[in-house]
């Protein structure tokens, strides 16, 4: 753990990041992109005859540059990109929902870390538990929804981590003050810096022992190597042997 561990006795709510916090995302987005590309090749071949996967990726980046409001809504961003392709290549707009479903189904083909459910189970009921994500993953689709009292995304708030608005919304949903909320995530810039700047207890889930990014201001935070370490810190009685 980094820095002196603060007094966490006042913590009444815990919010979790999703990707690389509750489950491993390695290779998942790439697989989902390929699944979508294969679908387009089969069902809408004029698109893939014209564009490679790399070109489609660059087109999405260009779209975000032209419409920056989409950056906080990854679902709308992907659908807008598909809508542009449909119009350009002479296909019906029904392509959009079909293609997005292929992508989002594959995007949810993840497996929670082995420690995830035991830790959530141990903390559930002791604290109000929530989700804060910049993406479009849905814990309900992965059998985890029952552990959480609230779920917030950048789409809901119109603002993404590390902006204070999303942490402010989490406090409102949990019914707590900032110093009564603890947020854990794997990203120093969005999860740790953002939470700490708003006065929330920040926990860096640093599974790989990375160094704190040199370009990022250091903020008060706790560092743990696993979710279980967080559980042992907050509810040690639930993790004692026997």
Q: What is the pLDDT of residue 134?
A: 94
The pLDDT of residue 155: 87
State the pLDDT at residue 239: 72
The mean pLDDT values, 10 residues at a time, for the chain of 242 residues are 68 97 96 98 98 96 90 91 97 98 97 96 96 94 95 90 95 97 97 96 97 94 96 81 46
Beta strand 181-185 pairing with 128-133: unpaired
What pLDDT is attached to residue 5? 63
- pTM value is 0.91
């Amino acid at each position: 753990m980094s820095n002196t561990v603060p007094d966490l006795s006042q913590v009444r709510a815990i919010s979790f990041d999703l990707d690389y916090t509750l489950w491993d995302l390695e290779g998942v987005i790439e697989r989902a992109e390929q699944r979508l590309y294969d679908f387009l090749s089969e069902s809408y071949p004029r698109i893939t005859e014209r564009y490679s996967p790399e070109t489609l990726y660059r087109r999405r980046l260009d779209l975000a540059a032209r419409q920056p409001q989409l950056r906080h809504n990854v679902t709308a961003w992907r659908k807008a990109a598909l809508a542009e392709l449909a119009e350009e290549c002479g296909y019906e707009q029904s392509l959009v929902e079909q293609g997005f479903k292929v992508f989002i189904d594959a995007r949810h083909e993840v497996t929670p870390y082995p420690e995830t459910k035991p830790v959530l189970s141990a903390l559930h009921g002791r604290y109000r538990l929530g989700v804060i994500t910049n993406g479009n993953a849905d814990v309900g689709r992965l059998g985890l929804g029952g552990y959480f009292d609230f779920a917030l995304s950048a789409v809901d708030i119109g603002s993404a981590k590390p902006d204070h608005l999303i942490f402010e919304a989490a406090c409102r949903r949990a019914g707590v003050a900032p110093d009564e909320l603890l947020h854990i995530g794997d990203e120093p810039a969005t999860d740790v810096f953002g939470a700490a700047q708003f006065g929330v207890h920040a926990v860096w889930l640093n599974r790989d022992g990375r160094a704190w990014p040199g370009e990022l201001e250091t903020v008060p935070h706790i560092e743990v190597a696993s979710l279980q370490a967080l559980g042992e810190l907050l509810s040690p009685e639930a993790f004692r042997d026997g």
